[in-house]
Amino acid sequence: MSQFRDFNLKLLVIEELMYGPEPLLPVYDLPARLAERGIGDPASYVLENGLHAEVLPESRSHFEDLEIPAELLARVEELCF
């Protein structure tokens, strides 16, 4: 598995692998994860709790723990900011 020293770089790679033209990782579904906690309207939850500029701990944990196989990482040829 690939190791990243920079979490932001890992997020860029994940974005390409999840949401790029050819998704290779399962999409992270934040609304579904919040629904599991009984939160039916993610936008209202974020606004009411002042979380619009925050990374939700469960999301950060998910992406920190996500392992990216070397063969998938090798398929990333370009990253855009």
Element containing residue 81 per DSSP (H, E): none
Q: What 8-state DSSP symbol labels residue 73?
A: H
Number of folded domains that form the chain: 1
Considering the domain boundaries, does residue 68 fall inside one?
Answer: yes
Q: What's the pTM?
A: 0.79
Considering the domain boundaries, does residue 80 fall inside one?
Answer: no
Considering the domain boundaries, does residue 62 fall inside one?
Answer: yes
| DSSP line for 1-60 | ----S-HHHHHHHHHHHHHSSS--SPPP-HHHHHHHTT---HHHHHHHTT-TTS--HHHH
Considering the domain boundaries, does residue 81 fall inside one?
Answer: no
Considering the domain boundaries, does residue 79 fall inside one?
Answer: no
pLDDT in tens, the chain (81 residues): 678 999 999 999 999 999 988 899 999 998 998 899 899 998 898 899 998 888 888 899 999 999 999 999 999 988 887
